[in-house]
Amino acid sequence: MEQQRFGELSSDKESNARANFFELFKNCPIPDNELLANLGLFIKRQSLSRILFMHDLYKKILPIHGNVIEFGCRWGQNLALFSACRGMYEPFNYCRKIIGFDTFEGFPSVCAKDGTSEYAKKGTYKVTAGYADFLNKVLAYHEEESPVSHIKKFELVKGDASVEIEKYLKDNPETIVAMAYFDFDIYEPTKTCLNAIKGHLTKGSVIGFDELNCKDFPGETLAVKEVFGLDKYSIRHDPNSPSPSYIVIE
């Protein structure tokens, strides 16, 4: 959730410039049938760096069997990016599902280990009403644009992932996790889901994190420390995208 948080920390000059730029986007004279093909006009370097980071994460799992899971997908951009990467690099890999977990209602709760930041509150990062249905339609469109589109290869799991992950893995015991990306920010669901997927990882699996070493959300780091230990893996990051990081199971 770093993009919203850092956007709120921008200077007045930066905020005004972005507001003016958004007006340019809303009044873009490019014809509708060409607009989607020219979205690069409006992608900021910060957003582009995150897109490239997700792209690079996906490339790391190309030889690794299993699914891609995002814990805390919110608006779902990463799910769409992962779907696009599958379509580019392994279009016929119908065994690789892309799964997103989210309440779509913001944080279900917070605890003392989540600190005292103004962002660490119940309901933070909720989305607009009915958004999960909208996201389903977006992901379905992306799937239609790729081969083997008659086989559904994505899934949204709505609800508190601390509860839903156990049910999902019970219903899908065949699950291998090639990549998991954690963007819960907070302690309890991060720890619960890390513990739940441990037995479904394989050598080469990638686990990404959005808020490690983040003062606003200490709970994510504490959860990783308690489940995996900070001294057992090299926690890597992309210098072009300072917040996200990842480990590789070796």
The domain limits of the chain are 1-42, 46-248
Read off the pLDDT of each residue in 101-129 and give the average, rounded to a whole number: 97
pLDDT in tens, 134-169: 999 999 999 999 999 999 999 999 999 999 999 999
Provide CB contacts within 8 A for 75, sequence distance 6+.
127, 131, 135
Percent of the chain with pLDDT over 90: 92
Provide CB contacts within 8 A for 117, sequence distance 6+.
215, 216, 217
- pLDDT class for 5, splitting at 50, 70, 90? low
Residue whose structure tokens are 């660490």: 120
**Residue type for position 160:** D
Could you tell me which residues are beta bridge partners of residue 206? Answer: 179, 248
pLDDT at 188: 98
Read off the pLDDT of each residue in 85-112 and give the average, rounded to a whole number: 97
Q: ∠16-20-21 over CA atoms, to 5°?
A: 115
pLDDT in tens, 87-100: 999 999 999 999 99
Q: Span 46-248: which CATH code?
A: 3.40.50.150
**Residue type for position 198:** K
Specify whether the CB–CB gap between 96 and 147 falls below 8 A: no
Average pLDDT, the chain: 95
Quote the pTM value.
0.93
pLDDT in tens, 38-59: 999 999 999 999 999 999 999 9
pLDDT at 4: 57
pLDDT at 9: 60
pLDDT at residue 21 tops 60: yes
Could you tell me which residues are beta bridge partners of residue 177? Answer: 67, 201
